[in-house]
Amino acid sequence: TPLYDAVFTNIPHPIMAYTSWKFPPETPLFPTHEQVHEYFKSYAKHFNLTPHIRFNSRVKLAERVDDRWRITLEGVDEQTDGDQFPADLLVVANGHYRKPRYPNVPGVQAWLDAGKAKHSTWYRRPSDLGRKLLIVGGGPSGTDISDDLRDHADTILHSATEPPKHRFSNIHARPRVAEFGDPETGTVRFADGTVESGIDYTILATGYQFWLPFLPEDVLKVAEPPKAPPLPDDLYNTTYNLFPLARNVWPFQLNYPPHTLAFIGLARHVITWPVMEAEA
């Protein structure tokens, strides 16, 4: 999972928590990931959810069979792998921070192939990646990782569409990357025409795709939807969002009863947990 050692929340826990369960009063305003983990465990224990959770398994396929959902699991051993069970209502709440989104920038694949770049999902802690580093992406991960590496490099270039502001003298804002050049020389050209060379390593903090591989094509098509109106007859995953959904939760399609499938947690740029609680 994309969890680096220095992760802590960027939202104060009094407004981030579920309304039905608060963090302990001694918790720092911005909890660490360890404290968030303990919060989830205490929530599950308090509401007696643990007996209803199937651990060490993942959903391999969710398909419509005889007017119900048939769920096929992928387990860690032969006894549990392939287990199936029916369901009347399928709630999809698998999150959207699993499959990395790589930037569509010329030359980036050559850097990945040469071992001189990786997506931030694989970043864990500061290490000796070189003296001149490039961080691509202006979201929370890009900013956090730039700060996390500041004592392990002479120069950090932080590239984003809107160049971020940093309080450290060795972190320099750059516009978005227009082209990755030769990985051997570490050359990169930016959107304003400036060129940097001698870059030792690049971390691509460029976000994630919506990814629901367990839903078959007749339930969810991975493609751009046709222009609306009218609304399409199928549900589409553009990898940025699902369309069309009512209230970002319920499908409009008629090839299965809409009330039998719900999506939780698709909204972005919101206070996630209370919104998910309201959706549920």
The pLDDT tens digits for 185-227 are 999 999 999 999 999 999 999 999 999 999 999 999 999 999 9
Flag whether pLDDT at 269 surpasses 90: no
Quote the CA–CA distance of 219 and 40 in Å, as a whole number: 31
Higher pLDDT, 76 or 146: 146
pLDDT at residue 62 greater than cutoff 80: yes
Mean pLDDT of 28-38: 97
pLDDT at position 268 over 90: no
Structural tokens at position 240: 């940025």
Q: Flag whether pLDDT at 165 surpasses 90.
A: no
pLDDT at 77: 79
pLDDT for the residue 266: 95
Q: Which domains does the chain have, with CATH numbers?
A: 13-51 (no CATH), 58-87 (no CATH), 102-206 (3.50.50.60)
How would residue 75 be classed by pLDDT, with cut points 50, 70 and 90? confident
pLDDT in tens, 81-111: 899 999 999 999 999 999 999 999 999 999 9
Provide the pLDDT for residue 3. 86
Residue among 166, 182, 183, 184 at smallest CA distance from 174 = 166
- Give the pLDDT band (50/70/90) at residue 1: low
pLDDT tens readout for residues 228-263: 899 998 999 999 999 999 999 999 876 778 789 999
pLDDT at 264: 97
Q: Would you give the end-to-end CA distance of the chain in angstroms?
A: 24
Mean pLDDT of 164-171: 86
Q: Say if strands 195-196 and 188-190 run parallel, antiparallel, or are unpaired.
A: antiparallel
Tell me the pLDDT of the chain averaged across its residues: 94
Element (H, E) at 62: strand 57-65
Higher pLDDT, 4 or 38: 38
- Give the pairing type, strands 132-136 and 155-159: parallel
b or e along 6-30 (b: 16 or more beta carbons within 10 Å of the residue's beta carbon)? ebebeeebeebbbeeeebeeebeee
For the residues of 202-223, what is the DSSP string, one character each?
Answer: EEE---EE---TTS-TTT-EES
pTM of the full structure: 0.92
- Which candidate, 249, 251, 243, places its Cα nearest to that of 276? 249
At 123-133, the pLDDT tens digits run 999 988 999 99
Looking at residue 256, what is its pLDDT? 76
